[in-house]
Structure 1
Amino acid sequence: MRTTFGTILVLLGCLLAAPAVAAYALVGEVTDRQRYLDAVEPLADDPEIQASVTEQINAALAGKVPESARSLVDQSVASFVRSDQFRQLWISVNQEAHPEVLAMLRGEEGGSLSVQGDAIVLDLGDVAAQLRERMTTEGVPFAEQIPPIDASVELISRPAVRQLVPAFDLLETLSVVLPIVTLLLLVGGVLIAARRGRVLIVGGIGLVVTMLLLVLFQFVARSEVTARSPRPELAGAFYDALTSQVMTIAWIACGVGGVAVIVGGIASAARSRRAASPPPRRRASFSR
């Protein structure tokens, strides 16, 4: 009876493990500004991000630069996007965009300039302004005559984000309680059971299966978000950055599940050997 009850508790814990991991990792990654910035900062070095920003700035410069200076301007743009100066501006731009990303995930209406129509837009105005100063300093012909550049990059569409709003709202609500309940169910189920080896095997297999399903869901959700975004390469890069911790914890949990299966197998085998071995014989004593 104890083993049956413990197995039920462990299976319930396995069912809650996937949303618990998503709640703990994703909610913390997105809602905490510093963790969000730490996640998106490396994207400044992503070739697809750099190519998209370069494309938008070059498009904004179209018709504003004489053809004779176009080659030098293109080289300056490419050099600037790969510089540390661009990295700092990238962080600054994302600091302004973070409240809007969070508002869209929560289903709130944002009123700032970083939301235009149905998409979150990263305003590259500051990037373009510093680029103009850099080109002037480097002596690029006609750079000082270039008017203010209006450039932006559409990042994630509102329809794509709204698909995840109900799930995110639920995860944010349960982000503290759910991981604790999951751990109590898993640990409590093992401790209550009389045959802990068997329960460990069941729990380990269940944990591996649920984590693999979580990984599969992540891939499916990524494809949906990128398919509905104006710039799939940017949306995909941001999605990977913000869900990387979810994937890391999921694979760690898979490893924990595998270890639980091995430990449970060893414990069950030892129990079986003890049950099969004959009881020790008592030596007969003779009294005179």
Structure 2
Amino acid sequence: MARLQRERDEARAQNLRKPGSKARVLRWTASIVLLVLLALLAFTTVPAFYLRTQLLDTDRYVATVAPLAADPAIQSEIADKVTNQITGAVDIQGITKDALDDLGQAAPRVASVISGLAPVLSQQTTDLIHSAVADFVAAPEFQDLWTRVNREAHQAVVSAASGSNDGAVSISDTGEITLSTKDIIDGVKANLTQRGVGIASQIPSIDGQITVAQAPALPQILTAINTFDKLSPLLGWLTALCAVGAVAVAPAGARRRATGLAGLSIAAGMALLAIALVVGRFLYLDAIPPDSLSPAAAESLFDTVLEPLRTTLRLVFVVGLLIAIAVFLAGRSSAAIWIRQGFARAGDYLTGRIGAHEVKPWQRMLARHRRVIEAAVIGIAALVLILWQYPTAAVAIWTAVITAVVILAVELLCRPAIVTPHPTGPAPDQVSQAAPGGQNPAGGQDAPE
């Protein structure tokens, strides 16, 4: 036994000293380096394209944040802020007290009764104003106002680098992005006037502000946005080149494995990006003072604006996993062969036509060209994901499911032609099926790469 082990060790050492072993190690090293770069580039490229297609596209951004107008947390935040701005600009308690004093002088008998009602009536007036504000932010008019203001906000952020901070949106030196409440207050004033609330005439023209975001490092963020916008096409090409290069430089016979590792690298990059978003969300919420924006409103803003990025990273993550799974199932490992053989046996069982009926000519033709057909199906699926303007994770999953169903249908329909001998000779895969070695789902031998 010791002698046999020694001979094995000597043979292994001799193989390592072969001229091709060093080149193989170098190829794998280069491939692994490119795979690491692929994961890092995927981690960077997806946010870069999100910035380019989402944050720097006014229509897309407005469409994303439009549902926030109906978000209870946002409506409650705006109602509270606007109410505080109105009550801060109008001395409601003073006006109420003066009115009660005038009433007491006109009717001395009730003066003692109404003298202490000023605080109560002041609070009721404040509640009435809050109710009017809440009704306004829940009305369709506020939906239109919210869309317009956010369109101006987007344009202000994009043009902030040039110092243009005019309009309903302003960006302070401390990185606060605020929305003007002037139009909201004017709408509330008109609403109160229609209700017959006399104090509405006392509300002055107020140009208050509501903080919707705060980033002390806003100048650096804007610089990063502009940089990513310019680099996004280059990052996309570099990501594709790294994926192709990692497979191309892999040793001969290992390119299939390198392809699967490329898919896993992309998925790993998306997993890191998901973790980074969780950390960034925590830091963002922790940096906003509660007195400037409530935690619930801040969460709604952050989650809504970044939802397209989350959707994209899920899509890319699913695509990366699908690549790795497809490569694994096409591999020569015992597990992959066992799975393929299981599919083949299941196909034989489902068709139930092995030797029982004459094989149709179209089945033989389908068996001869099934690989070309399956490759075309996969190519069409890839084009769908590439050409789909804004694909989601659901689009990727359904594309993969439909592709798998079509390929499975092709394999099942042509299965009788594969396992049934042709009258004038063996079927296209009959010889390979009888050959030694592992079999693929179609009954053929797993050929080396």
TM value normalised by structure 2: 0.55
For residues 266 and 3 of structure 1, do their structure 2 counterparts lie closer, same or farther at Cα, with a shift above 3 Å needed?
farther
Instruction: Establish whether residue 130 from structure 1 lines up as the match of residue 187 from structure 2.
Output: yes
The equivalences for 1:1-288 within 5 A come to 4=28, 8-62=33-87, 64=90, 65=92, 66=96, 67=122, 68-104=124-160, 108-112=162-166, 114-118=170-174, 119-162=176-219, 164-187=221-244, 189-190=246-247, 194=252, 195-230=254-289, 231=293, 233=295, 234-269=297-332, 277=437
CA drift of 1:22 comes to 0.5
Shift of 1:186: 2.0
Distance 2:126 2:35 in 1: 66
Question: Which one is further off, 112-121 or 248-257?
Answer: 112-121
CA contact (8 A) 1:160 1:225 kept: no
SS in 2 for 1:268: coil
| Bigger relative CO (Cα 8 Å, ≥ 6 apart) | 1
**Greater mean deviation of Cα atoms: 257-266 or 186-195:** 186-195
Structure-2 change in CA distance of 1:146 and 1:167 (3 Å): closer
Q: CA deviation at 1:189?
A: 4.1
Q: Give the superposed CA RMSD.
A: 3.0
1:22 maps to amino acid: P
Q: Deviations over 1:62-90 (max 9, x none)?
A: 16245253333222111111111111111
Query: Could you say which structure has the larger radius of gyration?
Result: 2
Superposed displacement of residue 149, structure 1: 3.1
Deviations 1:98-152 (A, max 9, x none): 2332245xx5544436134422210010111112112222333432343223322
Assess if the C-alpha contact under 8 Å between 1:9 and 1:189 holds in 2: yes
Counterpart Cα distance in 2 of 1:111 and 1:127: 20
Letter in 1 for 2:53: G
2:87·2:126 contact (CA, 8 Å) conserved in 1? Answer: no
Unpaired runs of 5+ residues, structure 1, are 279-288
The 10-residue stretch of structure 1 (154-163 or 4-13) with the greater mean CA deviation from structure 2: 4-13
CA-CA distance at 1:171 after TM superposition: 1.4
> Which region of structure 1 is more displaced relative to structure 2, 108-117 or 29-38?
108-117
Who is 1:284 aligned against? none
Structure 1 window deviating more from structure 2 (154-163 vs 205-214): it is 154-163
SS at the partner of 2:196?
coil
- Distance across 2 between alignment mates of 1:158 and 1:266: 48
Tell me if structure 2 keeps the 8 A contact 1:24–1:175: yes
Structure 2 alignment gaps of length 5 or more: 1-23, 97-121, 338-431, 439-449
Is contact 2:45–2:235 with CA below 8 Å preserved after alignment?
yes
Q: Which amino acid aligns with 1:112?
A: D
Aligned in 2, Cα 1:242/1:276: closer, same or farther, shift over 3 Å? farther
